[in-house]
Structure 1
Amino acid sequence: MAQIGVGAKKPRSAHWLFDGSKKMLDKNWEYWEGPRLAAEPPIKWKIVDDPVDAGTAVNTNDPAAANGLYGAADIVTKEKFKDFRLHIEFLIQHPGGNSGVYLQNRYEIQVLDGDSTAHGMAAIINEKAAPYSAYNGLGKWNAYDITFRAARFDKDGKLKEKALVSIYFNGQKIHDNVHIQQVWGGPNSGIDGGNDGGKGITDQPGGIKLQAEGHDVLYRNIWIEKLDIEGSQIDF
């Protein structure tokens, strides 16, 4: 198994989504063209010095997303994914800092300081809370290690099995082989958010999306490994 937790090194079988550089940000990412998009390319998220370690990170605080206007300046990978293993690290600089990691630009894994509810830190948004004690706190790096199995459909395009996810938060398993029920947040949230109240999941791969909500939330060390997961167990 690949390393997990803060500082986990990318295995050879994975590829970089973001290594801290502006070059890779522009190469691999773009603004998500959702109904609320207010930002214009190129991406305005700033590359900043890592406040803890050597190197650089990206700050989500895009001016177009001020006052929590999610969907106005979110960025998404140009490449789309089905099943995968994702590693991503984040740091929240101020109390109440808010962002989010979206799997397939559908399902949000929350990034929110100060909230331990099913809408809070490391939650499968609005469905399953995570132990807040796993969070390292403000001004410190945190890591999600995620294995994701996309929803499955029959030959007529009808949903037959909902998406599955297992997640480690700073090396602690917090979600174990959990079915994700729907997309939350409406059409401004991501793919299928406006379909049947978020329940109309379609058989369409999606990118990894990071949410801008006008807060100083940093990201670094993002890598992904494409998988083809047979069966309905994704423990790792």
Structure 2
Amino acid sequence: MKVNILLAAIVLIPTFALSQEKEPTTPEATEFYEPVPPKVIPGKNGAPPSDALVLFNGKDFNHWVSSADSTDVKWHLNEDGSMTVKDKTGNIQTKKNFGSMQLHIEWKSPAEVQREGQNRANSGVFIQQRYEIQVLDNNDNPTYTNGQVGSVYKQTVPLAMASVPTGEWNTYDIIFHAPEFSRGGNIVQPATVTVLHNGVLIQDHTIIEGTIKYIGWPKYEAHGKAPIVLQDHRDNSRVSYRNIWVRELN
């Protein structure tokens, strides 16, 4: 009995000590000077911030390869500084692998409306090759809501449909935190994503349930850093992209 009382007293000592810590009596006592955050110069007029890696500058595909075989990109490079999906040439992906990140990307559907549902201007931004933020023209074009524009495809419905008129440029600002796995490959911390669509919050620190699946439930498989992928949906989607940059968060 005495041993139990002694152990309880030892456990309580740190808590008691913290409770007896003196309340600060000067403003300086609660001011910190380290660590000092790095200085980042914000971009002006749509330009990226000073510490961003520009993945597409409108002039070349230097940071991209074909997903199928790592050969040169076969999409259209346009005079206005954008690129457009070239049907049936396959997805493209970054040469570099990424973990947690802040990603900015702009996209637009073609002004001429063709088809409906999932076959209208369908593409997607795949983070780490496996987690898709849907790109789709949903203006007067309903579809299943966990597959509409701004959804975490087949998982999470967006909080709002914030698309601009068909044929105009949309922006996605994506904050992604990569999943964490144990040494045995088990999921320890699932991935999360926050998305602003044209400045409107549509995914709010959303938990990603696993790899995107068209059929079946999402599941996690252990992985490390991986490329960003832009999708060729193979339906003559003619989706265009421009002004793509990323800030690595780890």
Superposition TM-score, scaled by structure 2 size: 0.72
1:21 alignment partner, one of 56, 59, 62: 59
- Secondary structure at the counterpart of residue 134 of structure 1: coil
Unaligned ranges ≥5, structure 1 = 51-55, 65-72, 187-192, 229-236
User: Which residue of structure 2 lines up, in the alignment, with residue 136 of structure 1?
Assistant: 164
Distance 1:133 1:164, change over 3 A: closer
1:202 Cα shift? Answer: 1.4
1:184 & 1:133 partners in 2: Cα distance? 21
Report what 2:66 is aligned to.
31
* 1:40-189 matched pairs, under 5 angstroms: 41-50=71-80, 56-64=81-89, 73-93=90-110, 94-95=112-113, 96-114=120-138, 115=142, 117-131=145-159, 133-185=161-213
Cα deviation for residue 144 of structure 1 reads 0.3
RMSD of aligned Cα (Å): 2.4
Distance 1:89 1:197, change over 3 A: same
**Aligned partner of 2:169: which letter?**
W
Distance of aligned partners of 1:151 and 1:122 in 2 relative to their CA distance in 1, 3 Å threshold? same
Instruction: Tell me if 1:225 matches 2:247.
Output: yes
Q: What pairs with 1:206-217 in structure 2 (closer than 5 Å)?
A: 206-213=226-233, 214-217=236-239
The separation in 1 between residues aligned to 2:88 and 2:181, in whole angstroms, is 39
**Mean CA deviation greater in 149-158 or 124-133:** 124-133
Equivalents in 2 of 1:209, 1:168: separation in Å?
Answer: 19
Relative distance call for 1:2 and 1:107 in structure 2 (3 A) is farther
Structure 2 letter corresponding to 1:157 = G
**Which is greater in Rg?**
2
Q: Aligned letter for 1:48?
A: N
Displacement of 1:49: 3.2
Question: RCO (CA 8 Å, sep 6+): is it higher in 1 or 2?
Answer: 1
SS of the residue 2:106 aligns to: strand
1:170 and 1:197 map into 2 onto residues whose CA distance is 30
Q: Which amino acid aligns with 1:20?
A: G
Q: Which amino acid aligns with 1:85?
A: Q
| Cα displacement string for residues 150-203 of structure 1 (whole angstroms, at most 9, x for unaligned residues) | 0011233321111011111001111111110022236xxxxxx9xx96413212
1:9 deviation in Å?
2.2
Aligned-partner SS, 1:178 = strand
CA distance in 1, matches of 2:41, 2:204: 17
% same residue: 31
CA 1:16 to 1:87, structure 2 compared with 1: closer, same or farther past 3 Å? same
After the TM superposition, list the runs of 4 or more consecutive aligned residues in structure 1 that deviate by more than 6 angstroms: 1-4
One-letter amino acid of the structure 2 residue matched with residue 110 of structure 1: Q
Rounded to whole Å, the distance in 2 between the matches of 1:136 and 1:12 is 28
Distance 1:12 1:145, change over 3 A: same
**What are the superposed Cα offsets for residues 191-225 of structure 1, whole Å, 9 maximum, x if unpaired?**
xx9xx964132122111100012311000000001
Unaligned runs of 5+ in 2: 1-39, 114-119
1:201 maps to which residue?
221
Q: For the Cα contact (< 8 Å) 2:88–2:232, is it kept in 1? A: no
- Tell me what 1:8 maps to: 46
